[in-house]
A and B are shown apart, each in its own frame.
Chain A
Amino acid sequence: MARLERIAYPAALVLLLLAPVYLGAYNLALLGRFLAMGILAMGIALVWGHAGILPLGQGLFFGLGAYGIAMHLKLVALAPGEIPDFMQWNGLDALPWLWVPFKSGVIALVGALVVPSALAVALGWLLFRRRVGGVYFAIITQAMVLAATTFIISQQPYTGGFNGLTDFSSAFGFSLIDQRTQVGLYVVTVLLLALLFFTARWLLSTQFGKLLRAIRDGENRVRFLGYDPAPYKVAIFAVGALMAAIAGLLFTLNIGVISPAMIGVVPSIEMVVWVAVGGRESLSGAVLGTLLVNFGKDKVSSSFPDLWLYLIGAMFVLVVTVLPEGLAGIARLLTSEPREESRKTLVVPVILPADEPAKNSKSRSA
C-alpha cells in the first residue's frame, strides 16, 4: 500500500494539475468546485473519522468563509460611494458598519478564515468541556446551521437574504470572467488541496493523531490516563472548521455566488454523505467520495431534478448498511490489505467507555 501511494499521489497531482489542458471550461469549473469541497470533506474525515465527532453543521463554517469573501467581492464591484444593490432595494442608504472592514481584501480573507475557526473553538470549548458529545453534539451543530441560515434569510437588508450575494466582477485585481483567472483559481485549489492533504496526514501520524483515535475509541480510558480529552477535540474541530472555511472561500470565487440554500441543513448533511461514501477514515477517500457524489449529482439532477434527494438517501443507507468503510474499504479489499481496525457502527459516534457502562454523568452529581 505504501509503495502504491508513492506512485498514486504524485500521479493524481499531475493529472489534476493538467486538467485545464484536457477539460473544457465547464467541466474544469465543476472539478475546481468539487475539489474545493474535497478540502471540507477531508476536514470531516479528521473530525468524524478520526476523532469520532459527527459534525452535522459544517455548512456553518463553510458559509462563514464563503460570505466573508463574498462580502468583499460585492464591495469591490461597486463604484465609489455606492452601496450593494439589495441594500438599496431594502431602503438602506449607507453601508452597515459590519460591512465596512470588508472593503479591505486582506481583512476579508483573514476574517473568512479566522472567524469560523474561532467560532468552532468557542463552540467546541463550551460543549466538549461539559462533556457534550455524540448525538447531542451533532444535533447542536445542526441547530447552529439552521439558526445561521434563518438569520441570513431574515436579515435581507444586511445579508442579501434568500438570494444571497452574487454579481461579482473581480477578485484581488483579477477579472472573474476571464478564463485565465478561473484556471489560476483551479490551480490554487489543487495546490491547497495537496498541501492540506499532506498536512492532515502528518497530523494523523503524530502523537496527537494517535490520541484522537484513542479518545474516539475510549474517551474515559484516556481520561483515566491523565489526559483531558476536551482540548484535543476542540483542536481537531477547529481544524475541520478551518478547512470548511477554506473550501467556502474557494467555492465562492469559483461559482460567483453564495446563498443560504448552499450552506443550510441539507447541504451540511450531504457533506457528511460524501465522506461516508468515500470512507470516513480515509482522506483520499473523502476527496474521491466528494468528486463522485457531486459529479453524479450534476449529471442526475440536470436530467431528473427530483430524483437526487432519493438517490443520496439511498446511497447513505447503502454505505451505512453494507459498506461502512466506503470506497476506501473497497480499495482495501482490492489491494487485500488486512483490516487494521475493529469496525464500529458508522452513523452515530457514541464514544464507548473503556470500562463498564458509563457511570459518569449521573453519578457525578450523586
Chain B
Amino acid sequence: MSDSLLQIDNVTVSFQGFKALDSVSFSLAPGSMRTIIGPNGAGKSTLMDTIIGRVRPVSGRILYKGSDITRLPEYEVVRRGICRKFQTPGILPTLTVEENIIVAAKRHRAWFKALRTHITAAECDRVEEILDLIVLREKRRMLAAHLAHGAKQWLEIGMVVASDAELLLLDEPAAGMTHQEREKTANLIKRLIGRCAFVVIDHDMDFVEQLNAPVSVLHMGRILCEGTIDEVRSNSQVKSVYLGRSLEAEADYAQA
C-alpha cells in the first residue's frame, strides 16, 4: 500500500485514559474519497484532529505520501498538503469573504513575505475561481462574521479548496443546514471529486449516501465496518448502534 496518499496505521488516542480512538487503520488513494459516519462522540472529529496534528496519538502513526507526519506541528502538516474544515465554521470573522480566501490560498506563509499590500495574480485568479465555486460572488466584500450559517460553511469549504491541498478533511460540512442547503453542499463536494482526495465525516447516513463513496462506520473509537452505503446500512451491528441510539433518544423524549 505504498502508493496510498494517506495511511493511518493502528492509531490510538487517549484522553486521560479514555480511548477516543482505538487502533484505527485505513488508507486512502490519491484523488479518492472516504466517508466516515458514526453517532456523536464516536471519535470522528478526534480522527481529523489526529491527522492534522492537533491531537497526538499514544500509539500508531500517520503517513502522508509515504512520510511520517504523526508529530509535525499543525501548520507543517497543512503545508504538506492536507487542509481541514472544522465542524463549527472556522472562518476569520473580521476579514471579508475574499480576504478569507486570499489568506487561505496557497502561498508563501512567512511573515516577511506578507509585507505587501497587493495580491499576486495567482491569488487573484484563485479568489475568482472559488467565489464562483461557492457562489458567494455578490458577498465578496462582506465581513465573514455577517454571513448566514450555511454561507459560512461554504466559505470554509472554499477556503480549504483554495489551499490547493491534495487531501481535504471535511468535518460535518452540512452540520446545522437546512435540507436544501445540505443538498447544495453535497453537490459542491461532488463537483470537487477528482480534484483532490477527501475524507468526509457526518453522523447522518442520508447526507453521506449522496456522496456515493466507500463508507466506514466509527463507533466508540473503533471502525465497526466498511463498505458501500447499502452494505453498511444492512449490517446488523451498525443497525443496533444507530437503532439503539434512536431508541435511547425516544426514551429521553418520552421522559421529558
In the bound complex, how far is the Cα of B45 from the Cα of A206, in angstroms? 35
Whether A224 contacts B78 in the complex (CB less than 8 A), given A208-B114, A341-B143, comes out as: yes
Give CA–CA (A205, B88) in the complex, Å: 29
A332 interface contact, C-beta 8 A: no
B89 — nearest CB in chain A belongs to which residue?
Answer: A354
Interface size class of A (residues with CB under 8 A): 35 or more
> Chain B residues with Cβ under 8 A from A210's Cβ?
95, 99, 102-103
- Flag if B103 contacts A342 (CB, 8 Å): no
The A interface, classified by DSSP as helix, strand, loop or mixed, is: helix
Q: Are B115 and A224 in contact (CB under 8 A)?
A: no
Complex: chain A residue closest to B18, CB-CB: A366
Given A223-B75, A224-B84, A366-B58, are A214 and B92 neighbors across the interface (CB < 8 Å)? yes
Q: Are B55 and A226 interface neighbours, CB within 8 A?
A: no
Bound together, the chains give a CA A203 to CA B143 distance in angstroms of 20
How many chain B residues sit at the interface, stated as a range, is 35 or more
CB of B111 within 8 A of CB of A231, answer yes
Nearest chain B residue, comparing its CB with the CB of A353? B90
Q: Do A206 and B75 have beta carbons less than 8 Å apart?
A: no
With known contacts A214-B103, A224-B84, A225-B83, A342–B116 Cβ distance under 8 A: no
Q: Which of A202, A208, A210, A365 counts the most B-chain CB atoms under 10 A from its CB?
A: A210
CB neighbours (8 Å) of A224 from chain B are: 52, 54, 74-75, 78, 83-84, 86, 90
Known contacts A225-B78, A228-B109, A364-B56; A211 and B114 CB within 8 A of each other: yes
Answer yes or no: B254 CB below 8 A from chain A CBs. no
Do A221 and B91 have beta carbons less than 8 Å apart? yes
Question: Is the pair A206, B90 in contact by a Cβ cutoff of 8 Å?
Answer: no
Partner of B90, one of A213, A221, A232, A365: A221
Task: Report which of A221, A225, A227, A366 forms a contact with B55, defined as CB distance below 8 A.
Answer: A366
A218 within 8 A of partner (CB): yes
A217 touches B (CB below 8 Å): yes
In the complex, whether A363 has a CB less than 8 A from a CB of chain B is yes
Q: Is B159 an interface residue (CB 8 A)?
A: yes
Contact status of A207 and B114, CB under 8 A, knowing A355-B90, A363-B54: yes
Bound CA–CA A73/B2 (angstroms): 70
Contact of B103 among A202, A211, A359 (CB under 8 A): A211
Residues of B within 8 A of A337 (CB): none
Instruction: Return B83 CB to nearest CB of chain A, in Å.
Output: 7
Contact pattern, A 212-252, Cβ under 8 Å of B = 1, otherwise 0: 01101110111111111001100100000000000000000
Contact status B103-A355, CB under 8 Å? no
CB distance from B196 to the nearest CB of A (A): 15
Closest chain B residue to A363, Cβ basis: B55
Q: Does B15 contact A (CB under 8 A)?
A: yes
Once the chains are docked, how many angstroms separate the CA of A213 from the CA of B99? 11
Q: Are A359 and B49 in contact (CB under 8 A)?
A: yes
Q: Verify if B73 is at the interface (C-beta below 8 Å from A).
A: yes
Complex-state Cα separation, A210 to B15, whole angstroms: 35
Tell me if B13 counts as interface (CB < 8 A to partner A).
yes
A207 touches B55 (CB 8 A): no
CA distance A211 to B109 in the complex (A): 10
Interface string of B56-70 (1 = CB under 8 A from A): 101000000000000
Q: Which of A214, A217, A226, A363 has the most CB of B within 10 A?
A: A226
Tell me whether A5 is interfacial, beta carbon within 8 Å: no
Distance from A152 Cβ to chain B, minimum over Cβ atoms (Å) = 33
Contact (Cβ within 8 A) B75 A226: yes
* CA gap between A235 and B54 in the complex, in Å: 25
Smallest CB gap from B106: residue in A: A226
Taking CB as reference atom, which chain A residue is nearest B171? A355
Cross-interface CB contact of B56 among A207, A214, A365, cutoff 8 Å: A365
**B55 touching A364, Cβ below 8 Å:** yes
Q: A225-B83, A363-B55, A366-B15 are in contact. Are A218 and B92 (CB under 8 A)?
A: yes
Check A213–B117 contact: CB distance below 8 A: no
Cβ of B148 under 8 Å from chain A: no
Question: Are B111's CB and A342's CB within 8 A?
Answer: no
> What 0/1 pattern do residues 78 to 114 of B give for CB contact below 8 A with A?
1100011011101111110001001110000111001
- A228 to chain B: closest residue by CB: B75
Bound together, the chains give a CA A206 to CA B94 distance in angstroms of 15
B115: chain A residues within 8 A (beta carbon): 203, 206-208
Q: Confirm or deny: B249 has a beta carbon within 8 angstroms of a beta carbon on chain A.
A: no
A336 interface hit (Cβ, 8 Å):
no
| A221-B91, A356-B88 as given contacts; A363 in contact with B56, CB under 8 Å | yes
Question: Closest CB of chain B to A133's CB: distance in Å?
Answer: 16
Cβ of A366 and Cβ of B95 under 8 Å apart?
A: no
| Candidates A202, A205, A208, A226; contact of B79 at CB < 8 Å | A226
Q: A366 is contacted by which of B14, B75, B83, B119 (Cβ under 8 Å)?
A: B14
State which residues 319-366 of A face B: CB under 8 Å.
340-342, 354-356, 359-360, 363-366
Among all A-B residue pairs, the 10 with the closest Cβ atoms = A226-B78, A354-B90, A208-B114, A207-B114, A355-B86, A221-B90, A214-B92, A363-B55, A232-B111, A227-B109
Offer 30 A-B interface pairs, CB within 8 angstroms, sorted by A. A203-B115, A207-B102, A207-B117, A210-B102, A214-B94, A217-B94, A221-B86, A224-B52, A224-B78, A224-B86, A224-B90, A225-B103, A225-B104, A225-B163, A227-B109, A228-B73, A232-B111, A340-B94, A340-B143, A341-B93, A342-B143, A354-B92, A355-B87, A356-B86, A356-B87, A360-B54, A363-B49, A363-B55, A366-B15, A366-B55
